[in-house]
Amino acid sequence: MPISDYIVTIGLEVHCQIKSHSKMFCGCATGFGEEPNSNTCPVCLGLPGALPVLNKHAIEQTVLAGMLIGCSTPEISKWDRKNYFYPDMPKNFQLTQFDLPLCIGGGVPLYDIAYPTEVQKNIPNPGKTVKLTRIHLEEDVAKSTHHANNSTVDFNRAGTPLMEIVSDPDIDTPEEAYAYLKSLQQILIYGGISDADMEKGQMRCDVNVSLRPHGQQELGEKVELKNLNSISAVRSSLHYEIVRQAEELDAGISQIQSTRRWDSELGETQMMRTKEDAHDYRYFPEPDLLPIHTAEIVEKMRAHVPELPHEKRDRFEKNFGINAYDASVLTSDRRLADYFEQAASDAKLGKKVANWITNSLLAKLNEENTDILDCPLPATHILELVKLVEAGTISNNQARDVFASLWDKPETQPADMAKSMGFEPADTGSIDIIIDEVITNNPKEVDAVKGGNDKLLNFLTGQVMKLSKGKANPKMVTDSLKAKLSV
C-alpha cells in the first residue's frame, strides 16, 4: 500500500536544559566546554551518604515554562526514582517525576515561520496547536563519548536541571514535528528559560512514531528514535522511518515496540533494543526529597510571563502596519524583535524600517554568517537611513551604499557617511530643468505615459536620474513628472 493508506502518528519527548548557574540537586556549576569532570561533587557523582537539595530556581522556571504553553500545575508535586543501570547515571537511578509532575496538559502553537521554508506557502493544517501530556523536571545524565576501543564519561553535565516536555501523539507529519520543535524552542528562549541550543546539547529530542491502516482506531506499535541532535535530523529520520515501517507492514512484517538510532551518514535508522515499559524502571517515591506545595511558586511566576511570539507578532502588525509574514520573521528571534522595536521608535516609519531589516540587514547577517546579537550597526542607524530617504536627502540606492559603508564604520552617523560619499541632494531648480529636458527629448514616451503607460514613467524617471548623476530623489522626480504631465 502507498504511505497515504496509513495514518502516521508522532509524539515527541523534548529534553531541555534550564538556564541555571547550579545543578538540580547540588551546588556544582553548570556550563558548556569546561574541562571534563571538573564540575562535580559527591551528590552528582552519586557517592554514598550524599543527599540532594532542591534547586528552587529550576522549579520556578519549569512552572513558568508550563504557563507559557498553557499547562496547569497541581497543588502538590513530588519526586521519584527511575531505576536503571547505565554508565551515565552513577547512582543507578535518576531523580525525576513520575505521577505528579510540575506541569500537566497545555499545547504548543505551530508558527507558520517555524515550518521548513518550502512548506510555509502550503501548510496542511495552519494554526494547529500540538497538545501536551506533561512537563516534568529531572536531572540530566552524564555525557558519554565513544572512541575506537573504549568510552569515556564526562560528569559535568550530570545533575543539570532538565525539563522533559512530552507531547501527546498529536503530530501528523515530519514537517509538523519540525515546526513543533522550532516553535517550542522559540517560546522557551522568549521566556528566558533556556537557550535551547541543540548543538550544545541544551535541547535534545526522542521521537515516537507509529503507523496504522485507515479505519483502525488502535495505534500501531510505537518505535522510538534516539540520537537526534538537530531539528533537521528529526525531520529526516521521520521521513526514513515512515517509509521503512510502511514497507515492512506491506510485506506482512509486524512492528514491535523498540528503540532505534539515527545514522545521519547512512541516512537510516538502526535497531538498538526492544523498548522498556514504565514498570521496567521500577519507579518509586524519592525518600530524600519532600513533595512541593506549588501555590506560592505559581503566584510568583505569573509576573514573569513575557509577551509571547504570536502576541508580539499581532502587536507589530497592528502598531507598525507590517504584513503577517514580516511580523513573523521579526518575532522569530526575540533579540531581532527587540532590535526592530528600537529601530522603529517612530511608529509611522515602522513598515519602512521593517523592510530594511528583513531585506538588507538579514541578508548581510546571513552573508557574514552571524546573527543579530553580533550586528555592528546600532538599531538607530536603520531609522536614520529611513529618515534620510524619506526626507529626499538620499535615494534608496544611495542608502544601500551608505548601509554597506556603515557596516565597516558603524561609529559614523548615517548622515555624515552619506555626505562623505558625496550623496547630497541636488538643487531643486537644477533637477527641475533636467526634468523639462527629459520631457522635451522623449515625446513618444511622454505621449505613452499620458495614455496610461506607467512603465514608461519609470523610464523617464531613470533618464532624469542618469542626467543628475544619481543625485535626484527618484520619488520626487516621479511625483514631479506626474504633475507636469497631469497623470
Domains contained in the chain, CATH given? 3-301 (no CATH), 309-420 (no CATH), 428-485 (1.10.10.410)
Give yes or no for a contact between 353 and 386, defined as CB atoms under 8 angstroms apart: yes
State residue 451's pLDDT score.
86
Give yes or no for a contact between 335 and 373, defined as CB atoms under 8 angstroms apart: yes
Residues of the chain with pLDDT under 70: 1-2, 275-279, 424-428, 471
Q: Which three cell numbers stand for residue 340?
A: 526592530
Reported as a single tens digit per residue, the pLDDT across 365-408 is 999 999 999 999 999 999 999 999 988 888 888 899 999 999 99
State residue 425's pLDDT score.
66
CA distances from 2 to 242, 244, 429 (A): 11, 12, 73
Reported as a single tens digit per residue, the pLDDT across 405-436 is 999 999 999 999 998 987 766 666 778 888 98
Pairwise CA distance, residues 104 & 451, whole Å: 68
Reported as a single tens digit per residue, the pLDDT across 127-170 is 999 999 999 999 999 998 989 899 999 999 999 999 999 999 99
Grid-cell match 499620458, residue found? 450
Amino acid in position 95: L
State residue 391's pLDDT score.
85
Give yes or no for a contact between 72 and 105, defined as CB atoms under 8 angstroms apart: yes
Give yes or no for a contact between 231 and 223, defined as CB atoms under 8 angstroms apart: no
Pairwise CA distance, residues 396 & 240, whole Å: 48
State residue 1's pLDDT score.
61
Q: What is the 3-state secondary structure (H, E, C) of 277-294?
A: CHHHHCCEECCCCCCEEC
State residue 277's pLDDT score.
63
State residue 423's pLDDT score.
79
Pairwise CA distance, residues 198 & 200, whole Å: 5
Within 13 A of 33's CA, how many CA atoms are on the CB side?
2
Beta bridge partners of 29: 22
State residue 173's pLDDT score.
97
pTM given for the model: 0.85
Q: What is the DSSP string of 242-281?
A: HHHHHHHHHTT----SEEEEEETTTTEEEEEEEPPPGGGG
Q: Which three cell numbers stand for residue 194?
A: 533556556
Q: Which residues contact 308 (CB under 8 A, 6 or more apart)?
A: 68, 187, 190
State residue 155's pLDDT score.
94
Pairwise CA distance, residues 118 & 437, whole Å: 49
Pairwise CA distance, residues 109 & 158, whole Å: 31
Give yes or no for a contact between 365 and 403, defined as CB atoms under 8 angstroms apart: no
